[in-house]
A and B are shown apart, each in its own frame.
Chain A
Amino acid sequence: MILPKYSEFCGRVKTLSGASALEAIPGELKKMNSKKALIITDKGVESAGLIKIVKEAISKKGSKLTVGAIYDETPPDSDYKVVNSVASIYRNKNCDSIIAVGGGSVLDTAKGVNILVSLGGDNVLAYSGAGAVKQRLKPLVAVPTTAGTGSEMTLVAVIADHDRHIKMTFVSYFLLPDIAVLDPRMTKTLPASITAFTGMDAMTHAIEAYFCLGKNPMSDTTAFKAIQLVSKNILNAVKNPGDMESRLAMANAAALAGIAFSNSMVGLVHNLGHATGAVCHVPHGVCMSIYLPYGMEYNLHKVGDLIGELLYPLAGPEIFAKTPKKQRPRATIDYVRGLNEELKKATGGRHATALKDILDREGKQMVPRDAIPVIAKNAMGDGAKTYNPEEQSFDDNIMVIEAAWEGKPLDLKKIKKGPKNQKF
């Protein structure tokens, strides 16, 4: 196992996982002497009827926990005004803990609220920046409803200020949720296509975590496990959504991947993915699943061996043993491509494998060719590139995105190669 010269790791989240994980929330909150919880969520989750399940679960007999209030107007990208207003709700209903049910934005909002209600004040922006929060906050329970983002394991909260058109980042270990609840019931209702790309999202987190600069022993093992779980279960989860076991497996995988990538940062795939999402409002996971093979190809010369190792969790020992060492990196990439193709089949073509055939609801192309330079530019300003093993300049971005747009493999000769065999 590679032990880097220096590395940090922290997975400071209590994980409750299982078919009846929700029922364990009251007991855990009781340990932190909390009696009244505020539930934060968004319309989508509400309409999917998940909140009903949560409420039943936590108000089952014997539980001392009561629900102070439910806020379900969280916007798709969290806004500081919302945070402040929710905080006042929390105070009025004098709750003493927060349960966030939903995806990234819900959790970010919840984190913001938690800062305010724990540290006082009426504008959350006062605490923005790295390490501004220096105390333990109120109990925060995260119930992810998409098995993918792994945001329940991250210590960052991004809250937008729409007046000034900027996103404020909040970074502190105290922003980690106290508890992450992985319950298959929360992801059961996800449509196939979403299941597919959120799954690939998790896969991407894990794979990138495995070969990007910030890797460390624990991120390796967590990533390894995550990849194993995804590649074992994703197809099954897409084909028969009712299968609780693979649902739970996916949820676990997402959480593990979350731990992995929040400790060892991620690289090119996320970099371009974020940019594409920002420019063309393509769902995060979709970009991930498309860029993933290119990310690996781009760094092949630096971290080929690591990528080769990934064949093991992806394809399983038998294939791994059959493939000679030299061909493993290639095989890994092909395997991922293959997986994408299969998902495409399984979702009736809704799971795109090239930028050009991403379609929105009206069925028109979301990423026009002329958007590529804009994306490339935008990508230059995204943090993830720092942790990519190989340097990426503007031109490199263009090159990669074009390939991804076309959906044909990267021409390895075109890559400007730095020194081989990355040291960690």
Chain B
Amino acid sequence: MQKKAFYSFFNQSKYLAGARALEHIPIELHSYDAVRPLVIATKDVTASGLKKIFVKAFYDSDVTIGGFYDNVGGTAAISTIKELRILFHDRGCDSIIALGHGPAMDTAKGLNMLVSLGVDDIFTLEGEDTISTPLKPFFTVPTAGSCGYDMSNMAVIEHHRFKSDFLFPDVVCLDPRMTGINDIGRAVESAMVALTHAMEASDSTMHNPMNDAYSLAAIQFIHENLPRALKCPRNREAALALAYANALAAVAFSNAPAGAAHILGEALNKLTGNDPGVCMAILLPHATEFMVGKDILMRDELLLAQAGMDAHASTPEKDRIKESENQLKKLMASAIKYVPANLKSLRIPPYLIEQAAREAEASGSHGLTFKDYMTILNNAGKAPAVR
């Protein structure tokens, strides 16, 4: 570890994880002097009956839910946010709880900026560290669908990116009743995003012990629990662990530069509408392989997180990197039913793939060239359909 290099690390969130976590929300709200949260949920929450559980959790507390908006669609839309501001003020709310996955969280973050900073057009805040005053208390209750973005310090609204430490949720409440998996495919996709973020955060040349604690924990969780979840989606413990992993990966992601697989995955998602989780999952093994080939360091702690102490200790030092690549491949293979093995099976036209590489280079946050990205993409394209 190059501890000489300066690093800074931050994570705002407090995690409540486990049985009856929801019932702890009122007391947490209290520690912020908040008593009237506005709840923002995605459409599916009501449908899958989670709303009932959530509301019941507030019984016998002195917290009144100022409003339960459960109509967030596929993306965080500025119009929704503006409407929610009216609701927020009308009910005199003093805090925000986001329930569900991505869009709800982003909407909540947008609303929080709007109501806390009193701006009229949040797009003036676009970019990094544009906020300098704390926002209103913001809690999140992720469900199974939420992925490695949602609990990060970033919000994406209408393709505008907002990044600030004040956008971290104050409390992340992981309750097995909420994180239960009902769509395993979706769960796998989000786990893959988390895995990508975690791996690339721990691999990135700027890793530091603090961030490692998070990313390695996330990786370990996923490697231990994704297979369990695949075997039995009803397994609540595994589901909870995956949700936890997502939350931790989000932190690692917030404190490290985005990696190649992440950048390419997003570009492909934008161009073709394929799920980012799928794209990243396909690209990740090849991206890491490429990095190793470029001997951009990939550390053997990784194997420790993937395979546990005994496996790591019993593997001779020089083989560890190879081994952890195999471990990754093994994991992907176990999820083959939901995540195809190569880009070919997504049938993306070559000219779009090139465009993706070009956009990835333009984003420039990882310092790879168009050629590098193309090699990764081509490897991913050629890979055998069965692992």
- Known contacts A6-B17, A8-B24, A225-B213; 12 further A-B pairs (Cβ under 8 A): A3-B244, A6-B16, A6-B18, A9-B15, A13-B10, A16-B8, A18-B3, A216-B17, A256-B209, A256-B210, A317-B309, A321-B314
How far, in whole Å, are A8 and B202 apart by their CA atoms in the complex? Answer: 24
B15 near A18 with CB under 8 A, answer: no
B212 near A225 with CB under 8 A, answer: yes
Q: Which of B239-298 contact A (CB under 8 A)?
A: 240-241, 244, 248
Q: Is A407 an interface residue (CB 8 A)?
A: no
6 smallest A-B Cβ distances: which pairs?
A18-B6, A6-B18, A10-B14, A321-B313, A317-B313, A14-B10
The smallest C-beta distance from A170 to any residue of chain B, in angstroms, reads 13
| Total A residues in contact with B, Cβ cutoff 8 Å | 54
Q: Is A127 an interface residue (CB 8 A)?
A: no
Task: Render A213-227 as a binary contact track against B, CB cut-off 8 A, 1 for contact.
Answer: 000111011101100
B17 near A3 with CB under 8 A, answer: yes
B313 near A221 with CB under 8 A, answer: no
Q: Is B11 an interface residue (CB 8 A)?
A: yes
- Given A31-B129, A229-B209, A248-B3, decide whether A173 and B217 contact each other with a Cβ distance below 8 A: no
Q: Is A17 an interface residue (CB 8 A)?
A: yes
- Report 7 cross-chain contacts, Cβ distance below 8 Å, ordered by A residue: A3-B237, A9-B14, A10-B15, A15-B9, A15-B10, A16-B7, A18-B3
Task: Render A3-46 as a binary contact track against B, CB cut-off 8 A, 1 for contact.
Answer: 11111111111111111110010001001110000000000000
A21 near B6 with CB under 8 A, answer: yes
The smallest C-beta distance from B144 to any residue of chain A, in angstroms, reads 16
Q: Is A335 an interface residue (CB 8 A)?
A: no
Q: Is B347 an interface residue (CB 8 A)?
A: no
B221 near A173 with CB under 8 A, answer: no
- Point out the residue from B4, B9, B16, B165 that lies within 8 Å of A245, measured CB to CB: B4
The smallest C-beta distance from B359 to any residue of chain A, in angstroms, reads 30
B5 near A8 with CB under 8 A, answer: no
The smallest C-beta distance from B219 to any residue of chain A, in angstroms, reads 10
Total contacts A-B at CB 8 Å: 137
Q: Is A1 an interface residue (CB 8 A)?
A: yes
Q: Is A387 an interface residue (CB 8 A)?
A: no
One of A105-113, A131-139, A188-196, A348-356 contacting the partner? A131-139
The smallest C-beta distance from A227 to any residue of chain B, in angstroms, reads 12
- Given A131-B31, A134-B32, A317-B312, decide whether A14 and B217 contact each other with a Cβ distance below 8 A: no
A residues whose Cβ falls under 8 Å from a Cβ of B? 1, 3-21, 24, 28, 31-33, 131, 134-136, 172-173, 216-218, 220-222, 224-225, 229, 244-245, 248-249, 252, 255-256, 259, 309, 312, 317-318, 320-321
User: Which of B14, B31, B209, B224 is most buried by chain A, counting CB atoms within 10 A of its CB?
Assistant: B209
How far, in whole Å, are A19 and B5 apart by their CA atoms in the complex? Answer: 7
User: Which of A1, A5, A12 is most buried by chain B, counting CB atoms within 10 A of its CB?
Assistant: A1
The smallest C-beta distance from B280 to any residue of chain A, in angstroms, reads 23
B11 near A11 with CB under 8 A, answer: yes
- Given A11-B11, A218-B213, A317-B312, decide whether A17 and B17 contact each other with a Cβ distance below 8 A: no
- CB-defined contacts of B209 to chain A, threshold 8 Å: 225, 229, 252, 256
Interface size grouping (class) on chain B: 35 or more
A1 near B16 with CB under 8 A, answer: no
A18 near B19 with CB under 8 A, answer: no
B248 near A218 with CB under 8 A, answer: yes
A18 near B7 with CB under 8 A, answer: yes
B31 near A6 with CB under 8 A, answer: no
Residue ID in chain A nearest B17 by CB atoms: A7
Q: Is B214 an interface residue (CB 8 A)?
A: yes
Residue ID in chain A nearest B34 by CB atoms: A134
- Given A8-B14, A8-B15, decide whether A14 and B309 contact each other with a Cβ distance below 8 A: no
- Given A24-B6, A32-B132, decide whether A6 and B14 contact each other with a Cβ distance below 8 A: no
Q: Is B146 an interface residue (CB 8 A)?
A: no
A17 near B12 with CB under 8 A, answer: no
B210 near A217 with CB under 8 A, answer: no
- CB-defined contacts of B310 to chain A, threshold 8 Å: 321
Residue ID in chain B nearest A30 by CB atoms: B132
- Given A3-B17, A6-B19, decide whether A256 and B132 contact each other with a Cβ distance below 8 A: no
A19 near B18 with CB under 8 A, answer: no
A33 near B132 with CB under 8 A, answer: yes
The smallest C-beta distance from B214 to any residue of chain A, in angstroms, reads 7
How far, in whole Å, are A252 and B33 apart by their CA atoms in the complex? Answer: 34
How far, in whole Å, are A384 and B17 apart by their CA atoms in the complex? Answer: 23
B313 near A320 with CB under 8 A, answer: yes
The smallest C-beta distance from A326 to any residue of chain B, in angstroms, reads 13
A221 near B216 with CB under 8 A, answer: yes
- CB-defined contacts of A249 to chain B, threshold 8 Å: 3
How far, in whole Å, are A318 and B310 apart by their CA atoms in the complex? Answer: 10
- CB-defined contacts of A14 to chain B, threshold 8 Å: 8-10, 165
How far, in whole Å, are A21 and B3 apart by their CA atoms in the complex? Answer: 12
The smallest C-beta distance from A11 to any residue of chain B, in angstroms, reads 6
A134 near B129 with CB under 8 A, answer: no
The smallest C-beta distance from B42 to any residue of chain A, in angstroms, reads 25
How far, in whole Å, are A321 and B312 apart by their CA atoms in the complex? Answer: 9
A135 near B33 with CB under 8 A, answer: yes
- CB-defined contacts of B16 to chain A, threshold 8 Å: 6, 8
How far, in whole Å, are A225 and B208 apart by their CA atoms in the complex? Answer: 11
User: Which of B20, B30, B134, B244 is most buried by chain A, counting CB atoms within 10 A of its CB?
Assistant: B244
How far, in whole Å, are A229 and B209 apart by their CA atoms in the complex? Answer: 9
- Given A3-B17, A6-B17, A8-B16, decide whether A173 and B31 contact each other with a Cβ distance below 8 A: yes
A1 near B220 with CB under 8 A, answer: yes
A217 near B221 with CB under 8 A, answer: yes
Q: Is B140 an interface residue (CB 8 A)?
A: no
Q: Which of B1-54 contact A (CB under 8 A)?
A: 3-21, 24, 30-33
Residue ID in chain B nearest A260 by CB atoms: B213
- Point out the residue from B8, B17, B133, B208 that lies within 8 Å of A24, measured CB to CB: B8
- CB-defined contacts of A216 to chain B, threshold 8 Å: 17
